[in-house]
Amino acid sequence: MEAFAENGYAATRVEEVAKRAGVSKGLLYLYFKTKEDLFKAVIRNFVSPRLDALIQDIGNSDLTAEEFLRGPFLDFAKKVPRSPARVLARLMIAEGPKHPDLVAWYWENVVSKGMAAIRTVLEKGVRGGEFHRSAVDDFPQLLVSPVLFAMVWTQVFDAHDKLDTDGLMEGHISLVLNSIKVDR
């Protein structure tokens, strides 16, 4: 994963992967048919455990929708943009279009589930009278877009302008809540 993250798929040498793993190139070809196979396996093995941990982390709590957004969701949003997971985002963006089945897998196992989870929370907020109906109901992506943005920014522009990702996320959540909360 480190190797692919640093150099991208095409520029990464299989031998380099082998070296970092402390094995010979030949061994990799005993376990993976091709370089592409290896790549896909690397991605999947990177994602799966983290995904499980995340689902566990967020869990099914009895929080209100706002508490959920200010709590577990904000925690997640603060953590991810500086975690190793951000390189995954860059890889998926860069290499995705060339590996459609990998994207399909990622879609099914990560993105669509995440989206569904967010929809559920928002729906709960609306039904419970906490939130107005608003654009985020139709476009839950609006809740996550700063997360992706921060992941990208920290990898591309950090040297030129270090982004306070925690502040960004807090600002984002408060901005959104301020817009959708039913005021009493």
* Least Å from the CB of residue 20 to DNA: 13
Supply the minimum distance, in Å, between the C-beta of residue 14 and DNA: 4
Q: What one-character DSSP code corresponds to residue 181?
A: B
Partner from DNA, a second copy, none contacting 23, C-beta within 5 to 8 A by type? DNA
Least distance from C-beta 164 to a second copy, angstroms? 8
Virtual CA dihedral for 16, 18, 23, 25, nearest 10 degrees?
Answer: -100
From 21-29, 70-78, 87-95, 161-169, span contacting DNA (CB under 7 A): 21-29
CA distance 9 to 13: 9
Given candidates 27, 93, 104, 135, which one binds DNA under the rule CB under 7 A?
27
Residue 41 within binding range of DNA, rule CB under 7 A: no
CA dist., res. 19 & res. 16, Å (int):
5
Stretches 7-15, 103-111, 159-167, 172-180: which one binds DNA (CB under 7 A)?
7-15
Task: Check if the beta carbon of residue 169 is closer than 8 Å to that of residue 147.
Answer: yes
Q: What is the DSSP string of 26-49?
A: HHHHHH-SSHHHHHHHHHHHHHHH
The residues that touch DNA, with contacts defined as CB under 7 A, are: 12-15, 23-27, 29-30, 34-36
